[in-house]
Chain A
Amino acid sequence: MADMTANAPVLEGPSGPKPRRRFSRRNIFLYGTLIVVSMYYLLPLYVMVVTSLKGMPEIRLGNIFSPPMEITYEPWVKAWAEACTGINCDGLSRGFMNSVQILVPSVVLSIAIASVNGYALANWRFKGSEVFFTILIIGAFIPYQTMLYPIVIMLREIGLMGSIWGLVLVHTVFGMPILTLLFRNYFTSIPEELFKAARVDGAGFWGIYLRIMVPMSLPIFVVAMILQVTGIWNDFLFGVIYTKPETYPMTVQLNNIVNSVQGIKEYNVNMAATLLTGLVPLIIYFVSGKLFVRGIAAGAVKG
């Protein structure tokens, strides 16, 4: 009998892991593409940051790629607190506060309603639930522009035209189709037996939702939150139509600062203002990027 533990003699030829060349054609192509693409996206950002830290005399020299000779934070302060839009000269800070006041209730409301919608559609099939879902999804494909004026009339009739709550309502409604789809698909991927077990255990509609479904669905809530925060924060169209100058969100105010035709163009202030406006979605992506990918993948594979 052969001794199973003895070492067999190593023969000539390949043995162990296959050696790989560091600068293979594949690697050069792969990393080359990655570097070119990241340059393409990062260069404008670099120009913006650099310009926002320069004084106007330095900008007029025209070397947009050169780093600032003398770093100044003056443009940032001006963009935040002093830039003028029309008769208001308190910078973007007012728009920031408005945007926060629009953002928080819109995100909370739309996610709360859409998750219950998705849960009901996934687990409590009722007569006509498929039709209801189809109608909701069709809503996602209708261009917003066609609905602008009817909404103006509706908001006027209920007395919310021009107010922050009017805009909150609009954002909540327009978030419904895609968020409901997102939640429905996620809840459908949760094993049905879990839902059945909870019913046998005597939990009702809300009991199952709050104590079984929600605790299992953190990733999809994060995805929904990211989608809504970036979507609502970056919204310009609804903001400019359904609010008035005192309640303009940050994006509308940014536009008014950048596109203002009076006086000289302060490129450094414009850059700083744009960066400030983009900061919120940027931070959200950096903080929750990993969860975002995980949640999207979870919904994608099983949805």
Chain B
Amino acid sequence: MNSVEIKNLDLSFGSVKVLQNLNLDIGQGEFIVLLGSSGCGKSTLLNCIAGLLDVTGGQIHINGKNVTWAEPSERGIGMVFQSYALYPQMTVEKNLSFGLRNAKMPKDEIDARVARAAEILQIQPLLNRKPGALSGGQRQRVAIGRALVRDVDVFLFDEPLSNLDAKLRADLRVEIKRLHGQLQNTMIYVTHDQIEAMTLADRIAIMKGGKIMQLGSPHEIYNRPQNLYVADFIGSPSMNFIKGDLSGGTFRAGDMVIPVDGYDFAEGTKREGAAIFGVRPEHIATGDALASAPIRTQVTVDLVEPMGADTLIYSSIAGTPVHIRMDGQAVVRKGDTVEIGINPKDASLFDPDSELRL
């Protein structure tokens, strides 16, 4: 049985359609990340699952129960918000127990659950403090605890780490992953940060304009993007796209000729005509890695961005600007000529009309 099933979900605000005929099945204990730029409907979808927004059409099932009309508190969900949303006038303990007190749970049961959550999240010393006296990371921990005490099957996270500084974000990210391993709950996590999505998710749903553009494991999303949008969205810096033509097993763009032997074509797609060749900056080989790349060419360096672990080069292939990621130890300067290699196995081909993967 699936943990969460979303069937033909529609949501509009007046004439604005935010979600359209959306279907999503989430397995028991799965960590799913809804990823997309702002305004793509990911938070809206989460609010629909939580019951904070009334849907315009379709159904939502949680644990086999149709909860489309159920109140948020009756759905068996816990939710963590971006701004933490802790009740400022209550102590941490009261914050944690607020939901349980609303449910009229016996006092010893409440105490036991609060103690357990505090232990898991290591916030016991903070129980008598007010949220105002906590740091950002501590507040977010309490917010997670508030979902934890409710002992629910599904956790909903609405950009929980976006308000934290970079280091804390990385720490809490690991902690959330560890928590998922420990609790084995279903988690639905909304973010616009692809690093969070890649590191946390079992499966990622990339959304745009209220539709899911691709649903798959981080590996699939990164290596076999189903369309131009996903290819462009995932990866930083993003994938290089070169426009050209495909004919007789070779891709031609200007004076550049790339044989696409080795490329894993999707079934039932065209093999001839206009195409877009996409390759990630980190999949363009330089230096020692050249040996494994069947296609080689020379490019001139326009700009160098040293980042420590690696160095980013701005250059162009067949008149199209491209980014190339080199080893951080490589010595390159503006104006140098660098030999690069491409392996069609790592590349992606797209149809420029349908924007789908070939």
Interface residues of B in 2-48 (CB under 8 A from A): 47
User: What residue in chain B is nearest A207 (Cβ atoms)?
Assistant: B102
Q: B73 to A199, Cβ gap below 8 A?
A: yes
Interface residues of B in 85-137 (CB under 8 A from A): 85-89, 98-99, 102-103
Inter-chain CA distance A191–B87, complex, in Å, is: 11
B88 to chain A, nearest CB (A): 6
- Give per-residue flags for A186-207: 1 if the beta carbon is below 8 A from chain B beta carbons, else 0: 0000010110111111110001
Knowing A193-B81, A212-B87, say if A200 contacts B98 (CB, 8 Å). Answer: no
Q: A201 to B73, Cβ gap below 8 A?
A: yes
- Give per-residue flags for B283-297: 1 if the beta carbon is below 8 A from chain A beta carbons, else 0: 000000000000000
Name, among A191, A200, A211, A212, the residue most crowded by chain B CB atoms within 10 Å (CB to CB): A200
Q: B89 to A197, Cβ gap below 8 A?
A: no
Q: B89 to A191, Cβ gap below 8 A?
A: no
Q: B79 to A200, Cβ gap below 8 A?
A: yes
Q: Does A64 contact B (CB under 8 A)?
A: no
Q: A200 to B87, Cβ gap below 8 A?
A: no
Knowing A200-B78, A201-B98, A202-B102, say if A193 contacts B73 (CB, 8 Å). Answer: no
Q: Does A57 contact B (CB under 8 A)?
A: no
Q: Does A153 contact B (CB under 8 A)?
A: no
Inter-chain CA distance A211–B88, complex, in Å, is: 11
Q: A202 to B89, Cβ gap below 8 A?
A: no
Q: B81 to A201, Cβ gap below 8 A?
A: no
Q: Does B82 contact A (CB under 8 A)?
A: yes
Q: Does A216 contact B (CB under 8 A)?
A: yes
Q: B73 to A191, Cβ gap below 8 A?
A: no
Q: B146 to A197, Cβ gap below 8 A?
A: yes
B79 to chain A, nearest CB (A): 5
Q: Does B138 contact A (CB under 8 A)?
A: no
Q: B82 to A200, Cβ gap below 8 A?
A: no
Knowing A196-B52, A197-B146, A215-B89, say if A203 contacts B83 (CB, 8 Å). Answer: no
B98 to chain A, nearest CB (A): 5
Inter-chain CA distance A200–B87, complex, in Å, is: 13
- Give per-residue flags for B54-94: 1 if the beta carbon is below 8 A from chain A beta carbons, else 0: 00000000000000000111000111011101111100000
Knowing A200-B99, A215-B89, say if A193 contacts B83 (CB, 8 Å). Answer: yes
Inter-chain CA distance A130–B214, complex, in Å, is: 39
Q: B73 to A197, Cβ gap below 8 A?
A: no
B56 to chain A, nearest CB (A): 15
Q: B77 to A200, Cβ gap below 8 A?
A: yes
Q: B81 to A216, Cβ gap below 8 A?
A: no
Q: A191 to B99, Cβ gap below 8 A?
A: no
Inter-chain CA distance A11–B329, complex, in Å, is: 45
Q: Does B50 contact A (CB under 8 A)?
A: yes
Knowing A216-B88, A216-B89, say if A201 contacts B83 (CB, 8 Å). Answer: no
Knowing A202-B73, A202-B99, A202-B103, say if A197 contacts B88 (CB, 8 Å). Answer: no
- Give per-residue flags for B169-181: 1 if the beta carbon is below 8 A from chain A beta carbons, else 0: 0000000000000
Other-chain contact of A199, B52, B83, B87, B146 (Cβ < 8 Å) = B52
Q: A197 to B79, Cβ gap below 8 A?
A: yes
Inter-chain CA distance A196–B85, complex, in Å, is: 8
Inter-chain CA distance A212–B87, complex, in Å, is: 7
Knowing A196-B79, A196-B85, say if A201 contacts B52 (CB, 8 Å). Answer: no
Inter-chain CA distance A216–B89, complex, in Å, is: 7
User: What residue in chain A is nearest B149 (Cβ atoms)?
Assistant: A201
Q: B85 to A201, Cβ gap below 8 A?
A: no
Q: Could you say which residues of chain A place their CB within 8 Å of the CB of B71?
A: 199, 202
Q: A201 to B89, Cβ gap below 8 A?
A: no
Name, among B73, B77, B103, the residue most crowded by chain A CB atoms within 10 Å (CB to CB): B73
A175 to chain B, nearest CB (A): 26
Q: B85 to A194, Cβ gap below 8 A?
A: yes
Inter-chain CA distance A199–B89, complex, in Å, is: 17
A279 to chain B, nearest CB (A): 34
Q: Could you say which residues of chain A place their CB within 8 Å of the CB of B83?
A: 191, 193
A136 to chain B, nearest CB (A): 23
Inter-chain CA distance A88–B78, complex, in Å, is: 68
Inter-chain CA distance A202–B51, complex, in Å, is: 12
Name, among A201, A202, A203, A212, the residue most crowded by chain B CB atoms within 10 Å (CB to CB): A201
Q: Could you say which residues of chain A place their CB within 8 Å of the CB of B82?
A: 193
Interface residues of B in 172-209 (CB under 8 A from A): none
B67 to chain A, nearest CB (A): 13
Q: B102 to A203, Cβ gap below 8 A?
A: yes
- Give per-residue flags for A209-251: 1 if the beta carbon is below 8 A from chain B beta carbons, else 0: 0011001100000000000000000000000000000000000
Q: Could you say which residues of chain B place their CB within 8 Å of the CB of A193?
A: 81-83, 85, 158
Inter-chain CA distance A216–B73, complex, in Å, is: 23
Q: A194 to B87, Cβ gap below 8 A?
A: yes
Interface residues of B in 271-320 (CB under 8 A from A): none
B143 to chain A, nearest CB (A): 8
Name, among A191, A197, A202, A215, the residue most crowded by chain B CB atoms within 10 Å (CB to CB): A197
In the A-B complex, list the 10 residue pairs whose CB atoms are closest, starting with the nearest.
A202-B73, A201-B99, A193-B85, A202-B102, A197-B85, A215-B89, A193-B81, A200-B72, A200-B79, A194-B85
The chain B residues found within 8 Å of chain A, CB to CB, are 47, 50-52, 71-73, 77-79, 81-83, 85-89, 98-99, 102-103, 146, 150, 158
The chain A residues found within 8 Å of chain B, CB to CB, are 191, 193-194, 196-203, 207, 211-212, 215-216
Q: Can you show 11 pairs from A to B with CB atoms below 8 A apart?
A: A193-B83, A193-B85, A196-B81, A196-B85, A197-B86, A199-B51, A199-B73, A200-B73, A201-B99, A202-B73, A215-B89
A sample of 15 more A-B contacts (CB under 8 A), given A200-B79, A212-B87, is: A191-B85, A193-B83, A194-B87, A196-B79, A197-B85, A199-B52, A199-B72, A200-B52, A201-B73, A202-B72, A202-B99, A203-B98, A207-B102, A211-B87, A215-B89
